[in-house]
Structure 1
Amino acid sequence: MAQDTSTPVDGHTFREAMALLAAPLTIVATRDAHGHRKGFTASAVTSVSLDPPLLLVGLSNDSSCRAALTAAAGFTVNVLGSHHAAAARQFASRGVDRFAGLGFEDWTGTDLPYLADAAAVLHCRTADLIPVGDHHLLIGEVTGVRTHGVTEPLLWHRRGFHSTREVG
């Protein structure tokens, strides 16, 4: 159903429209003040600046990882390949050990968790945190990068997992 742009847009209508925007999936991970690993599946990640290298992560105020990420000095963004659908599901679930059985390692020097076989891993220093609506925009300065070859990305579209193979 078409929505007249002159009327206010409610959350449901906006969510339905955004479901049509394909987005790459990542796992954002950190450690809390007690050293416990925390992380979540994120589709709202984008580059912000090349000099200095900055990225943005959209973090819901309802996220179980919000407290850890808003207090952390750093975090990793793990870019998922099409073979990571199970990991994306696991990190989107509540009440489970999200890191169990997935091959996470610790970044030397900071002990930030990263997925060893991710297509790319961006190690970030927290540069800023901006409250916006029902989210926080977490800005990270990229201080390290690991890449593991070219792989088909895992995409989120219409509330499901897809690969570029399906799109092409």
Structure 2
Amino acid sequence: MSVNAEHFRDVVGRFASGVTVVTTANDAGYAGFTASSFSSVSLDPPLVLVCLGRDAACHDAFVGGTGFAVNILAASQAEISVRFSSDVGDRFEGVPHETWVTGAPVLDGVLAAIDCRLHAVHEGGDHSILVGRVERLGPVAADAEPLLYYRGAYQILG
């Protein structure tokens, strides 16, 4: 039985997920993209993964880099998610951020942040699976709600 891409997208879209902006830094500057394909992998050592389309303009910056930060977005940050998933000039212009261990931008106001050294890159069909070893965890915004993605749209708990 073959799997139709549209039906596949509809079925996996029934899985509610958080929304992240994944960032990196290299000699060419900053790069970033919006991702809902993020997961923890291991506690010992602390590893996470994120998936990035091979046709993404920023693909080489991540695969050839040394680290990345996962910024877990709060419900109030839907505009940031849209910005990092669209074709705008400088995605970081006017977006307050700081850098931690890896030099990757950590965005202000996020629910939480995870700064990682690139541990491994695996092939995953039309995506690359980036595995990062956690170097630093950011403060958790205890009073903020997460930005969620479900059935092709942003959602909020409650």
TM-score bracket, normalised by the shorter chain, equals over 0.9
Q: Which amino acid aligns with 1:131?
A: E
Matched letter for residue 30 of structure 1:
T
User: TM-score, normalised on structure 1?
Assistant: 0.89
Match of 1:9, SS state, is coil
Q: Number of aligned residue pairs: give it.
A: 157
Counterpart for residue 121 of structure 2: 129
2:130 to 138, 156, 161: 138
> Offset at 1:33?
3.4
Aligned match of 1:30? 24
Q: Which residue number corresponds to residue 81 of structure 2? A: 88
Structure 2 CA distance, aligned partners of 1:11 and 1:25?
22
Runs of 4+ in 1 over 3 A off after TM superposition: none
Between the aligned residues of both structures, percent identity stands at 36
Q: CA deviation at 1:105?
A: 1.6
Whether the aligned pair in 1 keeps the contact of 2:110 and 2:141 (CA below 8 Å) is no
Name which one, 1 or 2, has greater alpha-carbon Rg. Answer: 1
Indicate if the aligned counterparts of 2:24 and 2:61 stay in contact, CA closer than 8 A: yes
Q: Within 5 A, what are the aligned runs for 1:1-168?
A: 7-34=1-28, 36-107=29-100, 109-150=101-142, 151-165=144-158
Q: Is the 8 A contact 2:102 2:116 kept in 1?
A: no
Which 10-residue stretch deviates more, 96-105 or 154-163?
96-105
What TM-score does the superposition give when structure 2 sets the normalisation length? 0.94
1:126 & 1:10 partners in 2: Cα distance? 33
Q: Which runs of 5+ in 2 are unaligned?
A: none
| 1:122 Cα deviation after fit | 0.2
In the alignment, structure 1 segments of 5+ residues that lack a partner are: 1-6
| 8 A Cα contact 1:123 1:144, kept in partner | yes
Q: Report Cα offsets for 1:50-72 as digits up to 9, x if no partner.
A: 00000010111111211100011
Q: Secondary structure at the match of 2:138?
A: strand
Contact between 1:33 and 1:72, CA under 8 Å: does it hold in 2? no
Amino acid at match of 2:67: G
Q: CA deviation at 1:147?
A: 1.4
Distance in 1 of aligned mates of 2:3 and 2:14 = 16
